[in-house]
Chains A and B, each alone.
Chain A
Amino acid sequence: MSTSSKIMDADQVRRAVTRIAHEILERNKGVDEVCLVGIRTRGVVLAERLRAAIRQIEGKELLYGILDINFYRDDLNIIKKQPVIHETLIDFDITDKKVVLVDDVLYTGRTIRAALDALVDFGRPSSIQLAVLVDRGHRELPIRADFVGKNIPTSKTQQVKVSLQESDSHEDGVVIEG
Chain B
Amino acid sequence: MMGWKHKHLLDMGSLTKDEIGLVLETAKSFKEVSSREVKKVPALRGKTVALLFAEPSTRTRVSFELAAKRLSADTLTIQSTNSSLTKGETILDTALNIQAMNVDLVVVRHQASGVPQMLAQGTKMAIVNAGDGCRAHPTQALLDMFTIHEKLGSFSNIKVTIVGDILHSRVARSDIQGLVTMGAHVTVCGPSTLIPIGIEAMGAEATCDINKALKDADVVMGLRMQKERQQESFLPSVTEYVREFCITPERLRLAKPKALVMHPGPTNRGVEIAAEVADGPQSVILEQVTNGIAVRMAVLYLLLGRKSK
Contacts and interface: CB of A to CB of B under 8 A. Distances in A.
Contacts of A71: 33, 41-43, 71
Nearest to B305: A76
Contacts of B42: 71-72, 117
A97 to B, nearest CB: 15
B87 interface: no
Interface stretch (A6-14, A84-92, A101-109, A154-162): A84-92
A110 to B, nearest CB: 14
Interface string A55-92: 00000000000001011110011111110111111000
Contact of A81 (B3, B32, B40): B3
B305 A82 contact: yes
Given A77-B308, A79-B307, A82-B3, A88 B37 contact: no
Interface in A114-164: 117-118, 121-123
Contacts of A81: 3
Contact of A88 (B4, B32, B301, B306): B32
Nearest to A89: B32
Contacts of A80: 307
A72 B37 contact: no
Contact of A121 (B1, B25, B29, B38): B38
A81 B302 CA distance: 11
Nearest to B27: A85
Nearest to A87: B29
Interface of A: 68, 70-73, 76-82, 84-89, 117-118, 121-123
20 contacts: A71-B41, A71-B71, A72-B41, A72-B43, A77-B306, A79-B306, A80-B307, A82-B3, A84-B1, A84-B3, A84-B22, A84-B25, A84-B26, A85-B30, A87-B29, A88-B29, A88-B33, A89-B32, A117-B42, A122-B38
